[in-house]
Amino acid sequence: MKTKKIPEMKPAFLERMKLLLPDEKDLQSYLDILKVKPVKSFRCNTLKISPENLKKRLEAKRWKIFQPWENYPEVMIVEGKYVRSCAQIDKLATDSVKSLVEINNTTNKKSLKEELPFNKVLVKKSDSVDFEVNQLRAKGEQILQDLEPGEFGRSLEHLLGYYYIQELASMLPIVALKPNEDEIFLDLCAAPGSKTTQVVAEMKNTGNVFANEVSLGRLRILASNLERCGTTNTLITKKDGIILCKRFKELGIFPDKILVDAPCSGEGTLRSSYQTYLMWNEKTIKRLSKIQKKLVESAIEILKSGGEMIYSTCTHAPEENEEVVNWVLENFPEMKLENIELPIKTRPGLTKWQDKEFSSELKKCARVYPHDNDTEGFFVAKLKKCQ
């Protein structure tokens, strides 16, 4: 199978990254990790199975499972699949045969080799030889290989909704927001459902979750994922996010928590989406920044007093991150930035970008760079409505 060639990075993007990562070694580490595919991470769906039992089931498939975050056992990585080296087993078996021949004068060495296909099921021979070769198979050298193409997504456990394939950084907004049981939760830009299903699992299918998506095609994927994961407390809506918030206000629906995982330029997804290299441009960044501000403004209007909101993106662009949050602080005095606790290394939000100065409060935001944790890139800000 041919590996896709990584497109050339646009010079304007590289110059921006040099400003964000001014240390040459730091920048080079970032550029190097972009050439490496992300780890295969997933999240146990605790609505259907415990992390412990899921891990046992997957390890029975000879998958090597790693749980990277001590306090979040539901978060897992599959590092590969163990396979036995037939060549190694053959060598061990042949060596064993020589020893057995020496101590068993009634055994003909030539016929013994002919009748024992060591990389297949042993058909016949004396009980002692049968036992010996089976022991060799059990001790055979194990090699860790990648899963077969499609194996990760086609496993029975995935089809049954026991786990959800999700990039590690994508899990961080919900880790930061900490949904509680019996709350009203709004996921304003929900498809494909990664974070919505994570919310529902945290809330144990209690309360009310609204999952909104404006695109019909993406909405179908969202609905499929919610059904597969066994959600029963979720209502799907198909509305422009701004219009939906206005409708909520008219109906008197005021969520306890809101997630605005906003559409963005996707700079943090270069490792998994080479298309981002080709689509990236500064005009898109400026256009998206305006949309993001409107979405956040609409969400603030319906957030319950004392409620919390996460604003997140999968981009590094300050115009889509700190600039949006700084705009919120300037225009909505009731909104305060909260400190964020995350199980990975993060860097503080920027207080300056090019010729723009931001509030010192922006340090409470979390920047996630791929080379710091072997993840995709992400940005997370946690806001609380104080009145």
d(CA 147, CA 34): 21
User: Is residue 137 packed enough to be buried (19+ CB in 10 Å), middle (13-18) or exposed (0-12)?
Assistant: middle
Query: 255: which 2 tokens?
Result: 């969520």
Alpha helices in the chain (DSSP H): 11-20, 24-33, 51-59, 86-103, 109-115, 127-138, 151-154, 156-159, 172-177, 194-203, 216-228, 241-251, 275-279, 282-302, 322-331, 370-373
d(CA 66, CA 41): 9
**Count of CB atoms within 10 A of residue 111's CB?**
10
d(CA 372, CA 21): 12
The amino acid that residue 238 corresponds to is K
Q: What is the DSSP letter of 46?
A: T
3-state secondary structure of 301: helix
d(CA 269, CA 376): 6
Q: What are phi and psi of 23, to 5 degrees?
A: -75, 130
Residue of 229, 264, 314, 365 marked catalytic: 314
189 flagged as catalytic:
no
Estimate to the nearest angstrom the gap between the alpha carbon of 269 and the chain centroid: 11
Q: Are 381 and 337 in contact (CB under 8 A)?
A: yes
The DSSP-derived string for 358-379 is --GGGGGSEEE-HHHHTS--EE
- 194-203 and 216-228 are packed helices; what angle lies between their axes, rounded to 10 degrees? 40
Residues found in the chain: 387
Q: By C-alpha distance, which of 333, 255, 320 is closest to 293?
A: 320
- Taken in order 71, 73, 76, 79, the sign of the CA dihedral is positive
Instruction: Write out the catalytic residue numbers.
Output: 314
